[in-house]
């Protein structure tokens, strides 16, 4: 049912936790299951130096956030905004259809965190 | 939002995994989020000697399964059937309302695993 990459990022999620004094924070909720996801970004000279996430969500939410935070680290804000849910799901070798609503949390939280950063500036 | 006990069982879940040659196996699905939960029981002389669970579900599903498997270990089948969702949620010092549907998975999977054991006999 789940690809090896999904199970790897579910069992050993990367970048779990929060960043104190983050430059941008994005929090989104999943209307279907009620879960909440928060993404923290450390940004220097327009580059995402660090990214972490916290969630109580399911395996799909954890796996997508894990790989999404990996994908945006080292990228510019413009590049990071191109890391859409489709890109993330492809990087995971796919997800079952009924878990797509969980996987969009990461994309939405990253966008919100970048918006938060731009508003603070 | 979540009690300390919930966070403890979410972060350090007990009894994760499968039991090879289990005496009873119960699998249930969550119609709301699409997650699946499986409970494995080792039963000797009517006593639950071991219990393990596997899920891709959210933090509430993980925390309730963790504490539910702890609660049923060492109990008779009759006693284990009294470990309802209400008992489990109370043992966790409560859960938010919108996560109750995730927490019932453990109770249902335990019942199914016991039924599976009784049918095999
Ligand atoms: S079921 Fe809540 S994030 Fe997947």
Find the closest chain B residue to A34 by CA distance.
Answer: B98
What does the pLDDT average to over A74-80?
97
Contact predicate B116/B28, CB 8 Å: no
The per-residue pLDDT for A32 is 81
Confidence grade of residue A66 (pLDDT, cut at 50, 70, 90): very high
The per-residue pLDDT for A58 is 92
Give the closest-approach CA distance of B109 to chain A in angstroms.
18
Q: Count other C-beta atoms under 10 Å from residue A44's C-beta.
A: 9
* Residue B118 forms contact with A (CB below 8 Å): no
What does the pLDDT average to over A51-78?
96
* Residue A62 forms contact with B (CB below 8 Å): no
Tell me the whole-structure pTM to 2 decimals: 0.85
A3-15 pLDDT, tens digit per residue, is 999 999 998 999 9
> Does the beta-carbon distance from B32 to A35 stay under 8 Å?
no
CA distance linking residue A106 with residue A61, whole number of Å: 7
The per-residue pLDDT for B50 is 98
Residue A25 pLDDT exceeds 90? yes
Quick one: which of A43, A44, A39, A37 has its CA closest to A25? A39
Residues 42-61 (A) with a CB less than 8 A from some CB of B: 55-61
Quick one: which of A27, A14, A21, A36 has its CA closest to A102? A36
Three-state SS for B106? helix
> Does the beta-carbon distance from A2 to B56 stay under 8 Å?
yes
Ranges in chain B, pLDDT < 70:
none
Q: What percent of chain A has pLDDT over 90?
A: 84
The per-residue pLDDT for A76 is 98
Confidence grade of residue A30 (pLDDT, cut at 50, 70, 90): confident
The per-residue pLDDT for B100 is 87
Active site residue B33: yes
């Amino acid at each position: 049912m789940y690809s090896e990459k999904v199970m790897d990022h579910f069992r050993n999620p990367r970048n779990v936790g929060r960043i104190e004094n983050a430059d941008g924070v994005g929090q989104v909720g999943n209307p279907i299951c009620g879960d909440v996801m928060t993404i923290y970004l450390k940004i220097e000279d327009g580059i995402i130096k660090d990214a972490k996430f916290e969630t109580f969500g399911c395996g799909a939410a954890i796996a997508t956030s894990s790989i999404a935070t990996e994908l945006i680290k080292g990228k510019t804000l413009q590049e990071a905004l191109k890391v859409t849910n489709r890109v993330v799901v492809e990087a995971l070798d796919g997800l079952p259809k009924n878990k797509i609503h969980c996987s969009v949390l990461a994309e939405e939280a990253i966008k919100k965190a970048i918006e938060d950063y731009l508003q603070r500036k």
